Amino acid sequence: MRKKFLLAVNAALLLFATQSANARYAAILLDADSGDVLHEVESMQSWFPASLTKMMTLYMTFEALTNGEIHLHDVLHASRHAARQPNSRLGLRTNQKITVEEAILAIVTRSANDATVVLAEHLAVTEDNFAVRMTAKAHTLGMYNTYFKNATGLPNDWQVTTARDMSLLAIKLYKNFPQYYPYFGAHSLVFKGRELNGINKFTATYEGAEGMKTGFTCNSGYNLVSSASRNGRRLIGVILGGHTSDERYHLMINQMNHGFSGDYRPIATLYNLEPNSTVLPPHQLDCANGETHEEHHEHNERRAHRRHTKMIKSKERHTHANHHR
């Protein structure tokens, strides 16, 4: 009996491992106006959203602005909890002032955790309260496989989403808040006399890019939600789980290019994809130090690449020198 039980457990573990391994990354590409799904890969696979979470924080901020509950030039104060947020951050000190508009731009361009928490606490007193409201709003919008536990996307095993759900949120942001949607295309923020450049390479370089949001933790890998418009057609794409920053941009550019070239035909609509994710989210990257700071991790990637390039060039010079001896 015990042997049969162990065999059953091993089979279940093997099935789960296989399912998780198969989810190398998740993706979806939509026509923003029709809701047609043009391309998808594991779009119902559960995933850690990382800083894509902040898109819901912004959705609720835009809703509060629309309802007159807050205003762009309202001055907010950073709490001790907000000021103690880890990177990425603006570096706000306790009681330091920031306007609603500055906080929005800090989230879009710099993925600033401290600015995110300032907004969350202003709207719901505590970040925990705000996270409860975020989940309720997600389910109201039809994001049935999304659960939020904080406003920033910092690691929490119970904070999950899917590519399908994030694409739905992107469409709702575009359609419900046309007056605030252009904030996602911001390339920089001026705060306290300093200009801080954005970190979203797709928004900065892709023809017709309108913006949206990056995300990264070791568990999630490199995430990206992007929107772009060409010749009157607007596409929205999601990539979850890139193994490098460059990979997520390559995957996004590739599916966007195919979408605009007419290589894809509608395979479903966003609203008739079955919203049922049964597989636990994979832990995508093995980061020994558990990094959550996207900008710092990209810097380390670039530094490692430079070291690798120098090593190759050194070997080439050595080989060349030996050849001529």
pLDDT at 195: 96
Structural class in CATH, domain 24-292: alpha beta
pLDDT at residue 210 tops 50: yes
Tokens of 240: 């979850």
Place of tokens 């832990």: 283
Q: In this predicted structure, what is the pLDDT of residue 122?
A: 98
**38-57 pLDDT tens trace:** 999 999 999 999 999 999 99
Query: What does residue 103 show for φ and ψ, rounded to 5 degrees?
Result: -65, -40
Per-residue pLDDT, 20:
42
Res. 202 pLDDT band, cuts 50 70 90? very high
Share of the chain above pLDDT 90, in %: 77
Average pLDDT over residues 84-96: 97
**pLDDT > 60? residue 17:** no
Mean pLDDT for the chain? 87
pLDDT > 60? residue 85:
yes
Segment 150-155 shows an average pLDDT of 98
Query: Residue 156 has what pLDDT?
Result: 97
pLDDT at 279: 73
- DSSP string covering 170-236, please? HHHHHHH-TTTGGGGG--EEEETTEEEE---HHHHHSTTEEEEEEEEETTTEEEEEEEEEETTEEEE
* CA 71, 51, 107, 239 torsion-angle sign: negative
Q: List, for residues 117-133, the tens digit of each pLDDT value.
A: 999 999 999 999 999 99
Tokens of 323: 């050849």
What is the model's pLDDT at position 286? 85
Place 314 in a pLDDT band, splitting at 50, 70 and 90. Answer: low
